[in-house]
Amino acid sequence: MQIECVVSSRSMIGEGAVWDDRAQVLWWVDISAGLIHRYDPVTRENTAQEFGEPVGCLAIREAGGLVLATKSGFWLYAPDSGRRDHIADPEAHLPDNRFNDGATDAQGRFWAGSMKDGGAPQPMGQFYCLDADRVVHPWKDGIYTTNGLAFSPDGQTMYFSDSNARVRTIWACDYDTQTGTPGPARVFFDTRHVAGRPDGGTVDSEGCYWMAGVSGWQVYRISPEGEILLTIDMPVEKPTKPMFGGKDLDILFVTSIGADLTEGTDQPQAGGLFAITDLGATGLPQKRFAG
């Protein structure tokens, strides 16, 4: 196994990695800076565009371009032209909130969760589903830091988490693929047994869940039964989002946080984008947003 910092960006909150299997590039964001990054692993070129407000997460659109979940809600965005079309702001009444983590289900719905941005943590976050018809459906509320959204290979299990230190739990629920409705949540993994709290997640081709252990210097591979199969020690304290990419979907890209690090720690690559190779695992193509 090899770990390499492929983009030394010193991002404040590097997050939201999504692999484009057609263009063979990785999209990711720096939330606080409002930057949308595009990394090409062949040329090793990374470019960034400013959106003008915090961008929590994104997905690639089947119709071209991206869908974003930002400080002001959901947007369609064309990176080539800069065109942006606002869809909805389901939390216009919560000016202290912003969107955070997201993922698409097997039918191309875009799920994203919100959280209170700054100050003392409060359970003000909620998950939302953006349908292909661009209607927003609220789901579970009362979350401190929405995170960990991912779906099993058959699309019938949805994973999500709360990163807050008081909670630090990943849940799973049966998922109705026809209606896009999650069933009752059950505890999938309690991260009090490991060093890191749950941040972003993804699922590999064998159905195992990969979790970025923020503040724990580690990334974990967890079986569908909730058992740790692999622990990867990272050179940074706050890994945030794992995502498989590359031609054979066998490279695990990991974003990270470069701000608010533990004083006295030596981590010059914090905030960078990492590529982990020779893992012996492969990912799944990410479904595109159908709207």
Residues annotated catalytic, as ranges: 199
Residue with tokens 């875009």: 110
How far apart are the C-alpha atoms of 257 and 203, rounded to whole Å?
21
* First-to-last C-alpha distance (Å) of the chain: 38
CB-based contact 149:212 (threshold 8 Å):
no
Query: Has 98 been labeled as part of a binding site?
Result: yes
Query: Has 147 been labeled as part of a binding site?
Result: yes
CB-based contact 59:17 (threshold 8 Å):
no
How far apart are the C-alpha atoms of 214 and 241, rounded to whole Å?
9
| Closest residue by Cα to residue 61 from 20, 94, 12 | 20
**Which positions ≥6 away from 144 have C-beta within 8 Å?**
115, 116, 121, 122, 123, 124, 125, 162, 163, 164, 166, 167
Torsion-angle region of 267 (φ positive above 0: left; ψ -120 to 50: alpha; else: beta) = beta
Q: 176: which 2 tokens?
A: 């109705």
Query: Has 100 been labeled as part of a binding site?
Result: yes
- DSSP label at 188? E
Q: Residues forming the annotated binding site for a divalent metal cation?
A: 15, 147, 199
Q: Residues forming the annotated binding site for substrate?
A: 98, 100
Q: Residues forming the annotated binding site?
A: 15, 98, 100, 147, 199
